[in-house]
């Protein structure tokens, strides 16, 4: 009886030990699984963020234009000949009417002298016959013939002078000459370009805008232009005219603006970026362009929000409707409100619920009028 009791006690003790071991193993396994699952969760991601702000936004129409001179021409002569004299140097500033070039005209001058002598002879004959007519020594028909001969002779003189004048090139307006393309002694044909002349005191800027802009653009409106040659400088002019028709192929209307160029910095043919302010300033929520994830199916941003019952920040995706861009900024028409904390860098590694750590040690470009680094 005692032996049976001892065996029962031992068996119960063994069962208790096994049960205790199983309970420890289950708790140990649960702890390991919890640690593994915790390790599989997304680690916090470091991002930059900024608060969405409302700013005044001036609507602007942008375009590409080309400067051209108010007066500009490639100068040439109407007649052929050999260049006898050149009175200018490439790059000279010249006045209207200044002689620039002469063709060889010795034969033409000699012929002019002959025709002048003939005209003088007809004049003498006319005066003599007029005196004779008074005493009826000649007929009226003779005097009429003398008058005709004198007019014909004078016309020949005028024609020859015009021919000689055509062999002299004069500046048609005040401006700056380009590079000479002919040489002394060279034979040139009629119409050969000798040099270009451009008036630089005032320039036109021609550019095109969509037909929708016709209602917003009118003469007298301010135009701003920038050129690569003078990075950071803004040139200001005003619209002087709109074309009277819209191009049927592009559906754009040509616009012309006038710019003062008394310092001669701008040159005809220069490419320019053009902006025209239209309408009244409006208030928009603005963000750095880096904050927006642009996709074909819709643009979105990531917000840094605090979930209920938690002091940390997590990512939340929000779809937005974007408007115009201005420098580094983009206007947000809908999707977020002013004051929302928006992720500006690091979005590619985020998804909804990702824990966030904000680090704004690196400045994110957010200027409406950015300047080059060396400006």
d(CA 226, CA 192): 35
User: How is 275-322 classified by DSSP, letter by letter?
Assistant: EEE-S--EEEEEEEGGG-B--TT-EEEEEEE--TT-SSEEEEEEEEEE
d(CA 342, CA 361): 16
pLDDT at 246: 92
Number of Cβ within a 10 Å radius of residue 222? 12
Taking the mean position of all CA atoms in its chain, how far away is CA 212? Answer: 19
pLDDT at 374: 53
Alpha-helical runs (H) found in the chain: 2-40, 106-134, 140-165
pLDDT at 79: 92
d(CA 64, CA 240): 17
In terms of phi and psi (left: phi > 0; alpha: psi -120 to 50; beta: otherwise), the region of 14 is alpha
Q: Which residues contact 252 (CB under 8 A, 6 or more apart)?
A: 208, 209, 210, 211, 246
In a 3-state reduction of DSSP, which class is residue 63? strand
In a 3-state reduction of DSSP, which class is residue 203? strand
d(CA 216, CA 151): 62
Domains and CATH numbers, the chain: 45-56+281-358 (2.40.420.20), 62-68+204-277 (2.40.30.170), 105-166 (1.10.287)
pLDDT at 38: 52
Q: Which residues contact 209 (CB under 8 A, 6 or more apart)?
A: 61, 63, 217, 252, 253, 255, 276
d(CA 166, CA 19): 124
d(CA 170, CA 75): 9
d(CA 55, CA 344): 18
In terms of phi and psi (left: phi > 0; alpha: psi -120 to 50; beta: otherwise), the region of 208 is beta
pLDDT tens for the chain, 375 residues: list them.
Answer: 556 776 776 777 777 777 777 777 777 777 776 665 555 556 788 889 889 888 888 888 889 999 999 999 999 999 999 999 999 999 999 999 999 999 999 898 898 899 888 888 888 888 887 888 788 777 888 888 888 988 998 999 899 888 989 999 999 999 999 999 999 999 999 999 999 999 999 999 999 999 988 888 999 999 999 999 998 899 999 999 999 999 999 999 999 999 999 999 999 999 999 999 887 888 889 999 988 998 888 899 999 888 876 668 888 899 999 988 888 888 899 989 988 999 998 888 888 888 888 888 888 887 777 766 554
């Amino acid at each position: 009886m005692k032996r049976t009791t001892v065996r029962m006690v031992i068996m119960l003790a063994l069962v208790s030990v096994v049960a205790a071991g199983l309970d420890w193993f289950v708790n140990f396994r649960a702890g390991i699984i919890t640690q593994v699952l915790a390790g599989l969760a997304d680690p916090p991601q470091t991002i930059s963020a900024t608060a969405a702000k409302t700013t005044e936004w001036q609507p602007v129409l942008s375009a590409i234009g080309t400067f051209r001179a108010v007066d500009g021409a490639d100068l040439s002569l109407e007649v052929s000949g050999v260049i006898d004299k050149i009175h200018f140097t490439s790059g000279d500033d010249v006045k209207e009417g200044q002689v620039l070039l002469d063709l060889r005209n010795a034969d033409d001058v000699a012929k002019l002298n002959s025709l002048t002598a003939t005209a003088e002879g007809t004049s003498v004959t006319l005066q003599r016959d007029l005196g004779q007519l008074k005493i009826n020594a000649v007929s009226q028909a003779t005097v009429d013939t003398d008058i005709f001969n004198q007019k014909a002779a004078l016309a020949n003189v005028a024609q020859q002078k015009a021919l000689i004048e055509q062999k002299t090139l004069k500046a048609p307006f005040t401006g700056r000459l380009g590079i000479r393309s002919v040489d002394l002694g060279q034979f040139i044909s009629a119409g050969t370009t000798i040099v270009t002349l451009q008036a630089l005191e005032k320039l036109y800027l021609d550019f095109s805008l969509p037909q929708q802009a016709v209602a917003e653009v009118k003469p007298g409106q301010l135009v701003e232009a920038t050129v690569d040659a003078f990075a950071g400088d803004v040139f200001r002019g005003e619209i002087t005219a709109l074309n009277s028709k819209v191009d049927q192929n592009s559906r754009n209307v040509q616009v012309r603006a006038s710019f003062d160029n008394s310092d001669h910095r701008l040159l005809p043919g220069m490419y320019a970026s053009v902006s025209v302010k239209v309408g009244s300033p409006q208030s928009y929520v603005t963000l750095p362009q880096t904050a927006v994830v642009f996709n074909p199916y819709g643009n979105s941003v990531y917000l840094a929000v605090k979930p209920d019952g938690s002091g940390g920040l997590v990512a939340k995706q929000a779809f937005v409707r974007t408007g115009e861009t201005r420098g580094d900024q983009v206007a947000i028409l809908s999707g977020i409100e002013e004051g929302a904390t928006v992720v500006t860098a690091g979005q590619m590694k985020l998804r909804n619920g990702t824990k966030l750590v904000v680090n704004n040690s690196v400045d994110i470009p957010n200027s409406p009028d950015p300047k080059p680094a060396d400006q």
